[in-house]
Chains A and B, each alone.
Chain A
Amino acid sequence: MTDNNYILKVENLTKIFTLGNIFSRIKIVAVNNVSFEIREGEVFTLAGESGSGKTTVARIILGFHEPTSGKIIYKGKDLTNLNKEDRNFFRREVQAIFQNPFESFNPLRKVSSYLYETLENFNIARDNKDEVVEKALRSVGLSREEVIDKYPTEFSGGQLQRISIARALITKPSLLIADEPVSMIDASLRMSIVNLFKELKEKSNVSVIYITHDLATAYYISDKIAIMFRGEIVESGEVEKVLMEPKHPYTMVLSESIPEPDPKRRWKKQISLSAFEEEEFLLKGCKFAKRCSFVMEECKKQEIPYFEINGRKVKCLLYK
């Protein structure tokens, strides 16, 4: 492995979607120059509001979208031009878990068939399939008897999400990409799923890309965090530092806006919201300039570079 134990390296990733017809075209830069690295056994959170491009990044890594430019390097191999063998290896190594477990399973198919299909697709455990399935389900706190011969409607959302994690674990992946895995799960069961990721990281040294807008769970499980805003990473670094002492004005607003489960600490300040999302995407300089309380003239004119302060990167001219 090159680049000492970086498992995934994303370099200057950009994705441009074109909207409209031949008469009027708008280019939306969904992901703009995004770079980050993930080490082995690290939980990396991509956080940001809806429309910030966090899911697009995940979809590009998984190969659902072609990047417009930029590189993704997984264990030393560039993902944009893989041969068949490497692609198979990558599909086995990197597994995805999606937001809504009720949508990821076909309601007319037995849930267990997904587990067995994964075994078949990757040619794992020809002889002792049941054993492997049992083991995967055990690791998420279920058993084969509970799952076999049942349809998705017979499970709760939390159970289904566990099963989709079990399915992902069958190929013994090194990297899990979890796109909002707990946003559909009830508050009372949410932590059990979050704890599962924590366990996987600690026991099996699996790396996780955790995509979420819930910063409280992000703080709970992750090591590193990157805050995305309108397609750009505005701040990244260790989760304690970024969320406890935010530097970028957007991160400040974000971390202040988390509704804390403590009635003694209610908000006092009013915040401003953007009315028209499209406008912000098309801004030239800093995309947060319209809502920022520290805005300067130069923020609106130029592309903002990253500045490094004690091991974290901040995209803001305040730290020039």
Chain B
Amino acid sequence: MPILKSENLKSFYILDIYGKKHVIQAVNGVSLEVEESEIYGIAGESGCGKSTLVRVLYGMIEPPLSLIDGNVFYKRNGEFISIFTLPEEELRKLRWEFISYIPQGSMNILNPVIKIIDSFWDFIGAHISKDEKEKMEHSLFEFFKMLGLPSKTLYAYPHQLSGGMRQRVIVALATFLNPKIIIADEPTTALDVVAQRGVIQLLKSIQSFLNNTIILVTHDMGVHATISDRIGIMYAGNIIEEAKTEEIYEDPLHPYTQYLIKSLPKIGDKSYKVSVPGTPPSLANPPSGCKFHPRCNYAMEECKLYVPKFVEVKPKHKVACFLYSKEVDS
């Protein structure tokens, strides 16, 4: 049962520079369904629109980003509601309680001159009344204990904590109100491998305790392999392949995914690895047809003219490539 879905979502950055209009097609027709209590991974290189996609899914559309087309639905109390028809006040109430968003580099958002716990009251103030504060403090300690985080970190200043611990505290705080959906945008990117493992394990244990849904955005395919249940591969503003994690690694279909998986270095393997040829496309002026065709070895005439449709070619395995299906996206 999907808990969040989007239909033909299009969202562009529209910039006006000295009277000249620039349109950056960051999210260009994404349809996805995220199932209840799964970890859905979104992978792709920087500038492919993955961060923009999750911002739109969170309903955070601020100029210059604007919604062009499509819709996002959350399933709440058994029915789907479209978030773009909700009044701003309603949407704000959903945040942190129903869906929470951990933006990129969020370990640096803590106010440096107040203690972590005071920052937390700042964030959460809108959702609790003053009388509840004392009770909350107690359950916050319980929550930290359950996740195996030292509770003395709550009374530390941000600079006293290591990067990995700061990130884990942020993740814990963002999930304290038990949201149904957690969106984590590159939660481990600036961390070293040991701290990264700590954050990933924390996300995983939160998910197993609270049984919620996680949408995880990262470019690191190693992280996806260790935590995601399903993966959507994004390229130039669209999801081009989606399947179960094992399936993506064992039998990637789209030529881009194949390159991506093959180029990953592994310990214990010194064989020569090649990266994807060419350079990532500019979203301001994307190539015609299939956006991967200038870099693709299998490119055919039709790839330059038409956009392949995102279709299910194997059970639960969707891909947008003319090698597998000749259907054209209208």
Contacts and interface: CB of A to CB of B under 8 A. Distances in A.
Category for how many chain B residues contact A: 35 or more
A259 B267 contact: no
B268 interface: yes
| 9 tightest A-B CB contacts, nearest first | A259-B222, A49-B192, A186-B45, A191-B275, A257-B197, A188-B276, A220-B265, A192-B275, A216-B265
A196 B190 CA distance: 24
A318 to B, nearest CB: 19
A148 interface: no
B219 A187 contact: yes
B135 interface: no
B225 A260 contact: yes
Given A49-B192, A186-B45, A261 B201 contact: no
Q: Sort chain A's interface into a size bin.
A: 35 or more
A124 interface: no
A169 interface: no
A216 B267 contact: yes
Nearest to A184: B46
Interface string B211-244: 0000000011111011100000000000000000
A257 B190 CA distance: 15
Contact of A257 (B45, B194, B225): B194
A194 interface: yes
Nearest to B247: A263
A51 B246 CA distance: 35
B265 A189 contact: no
A275 B279 contact: no
Contacts of A191: 263, 265, 273-275
Interface string B254-265: 001001110111
A121 interface: no
Contacts of A277: 161-162
B267 A275 contact: no
Nearest to A262: B225
Contacts of A33: none
Nearest to B256: A188
A129 B196 CA distance: 46
Given A49-B195, A195-B274, A244-B268, A261 B164 contact: no
